[in-house]
């Protein structure tokens, strides 16, 4: 249903339901509905929605998403809310993430113990966070409300040449990171980025494999 002609201050709640829900007789009559409510009542409308809880969704996945837009003269400002929790969420592409890249040859060819490998990742990650401690992204990433939900992606490359090549590409692209140089040996063992929105830097890591730590 269109939003033209709605008064300012009217909240429009639109349901976008996946195909699995459209096949459910209980849910089908609720699809393509728009619920009008005052701004003060939009939260209660969400809580009472018959689509908020359903057995039609696969286990572990949100059943549907609700886009809530508060209409004003400038138009709607939508937010995405998963039905399973009822809280506004950050999209996966905008999640703040720190990439950590380790050398596979350290444990496969040189026989480094697991503890030493983990230490290299910790060194690089900590150094990257400290270097970017005044960055808005890092301040949000390390904020008290986010400490229990940090997102890190740990990847691996074949060896030091590949790690340094990656560091060079990131530097050319302006992606801030820390290349950890182990002392006194003086060779690179790990790389960690400063926290960034995933969408801004994922392209540089798509070809890398997740770190498995297997021989």
Q: What angle do CA 151, 155, 159 make, to 5 degrees?
A: 150
According to DSSP, the β-strands at 65-70 and 78-82 are: antiparallel
Q: What is the predicted pLDDT for the residue at 48? A: 47
Q: What is the predicted pLDDT for the residue at 30? A: 42
Q: What is the predicted pLDDT for the residue at 214? A: 84
Per-block mean pLDDT, blocks of 10 residues, the chain (215 long): 44 42 43 40 45 40 36 39 42 87 96 96 98 97 94 97 98 97 95 97 96 87
Q: What is the predicted pLDDT for the residue at 81? A: 36
SS3 letters across 61-108: CCCCEEEEEECCCCCCCEEEEECCCCCCCCCHHHCEEEEEEEECHHHH
Q: What angle do CA 113, 117, 119 make, to 5 degrees?
A: 115
pTM of the model: 0.59
Please provide residue 113's backbone torsions phi and psi, each rounded to the nearest 5 degrees.
-70, 160
Q: Kindly compute the dihedral angle of the four CA atoms of residues 125, 212, 204, 124, in this order, to the nearest 10 degrees.
A: 10
Residue with tokens 């996945």: 61
Q: How many helices (H) and strands (E) does the chain have?
A: 8, 10
Tokens linked to 116: 């030493």
Count of residues in the chain: 215
Cα–Cα dist 126/178, whole Å = 9
Q: Are 122 and 98 in contact (CB under 8 A)?
A: no
């Amino acid at each position: 249903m269109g939003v033209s002609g709605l008064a300012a201050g009217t909240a429009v709640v639109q349901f976008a339901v996946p195909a699995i829900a459209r096949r459910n007789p209980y849910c089908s009559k609720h699809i393509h509905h728009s619920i009008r409510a005052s701004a003060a009542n939009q939260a209660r409308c969400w809580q009472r929605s018959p689509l908020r809880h359903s057995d039609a969704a696969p286990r572990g996945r949100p059943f549907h998403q609700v886009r809530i837009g508060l209409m004003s003269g400038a138009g709607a400002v939508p937010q995405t809310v998963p039905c399973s929790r009822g809280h506004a969420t950050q999209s996966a592409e905008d999640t703040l993430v720190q990439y950590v890249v380790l050398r596979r040859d350290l444990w496969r060819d040189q026989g480094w113990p697991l503890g030493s490998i983990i230490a290299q990742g910790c060194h690089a990650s900590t150094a990257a966070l400290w270097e970017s401690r005044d960055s808005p992204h890092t301040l949000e990433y390390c904020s008290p409300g986010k400490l229990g939900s940090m997102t890190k992606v740990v990847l691996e490359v074949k060896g030091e040449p590949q790690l340094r090549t990656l560091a060079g590409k990131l530097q050319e692209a302006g992606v801030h990171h820390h290349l950890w140089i182990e002392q006194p040996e003086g060779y690179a063992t790990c790389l960690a980025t400063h926290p960034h929105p995933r969408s801004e830097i994922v392209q540089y890591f798509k070809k890398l494999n997740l770190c498995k730590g297997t021989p």
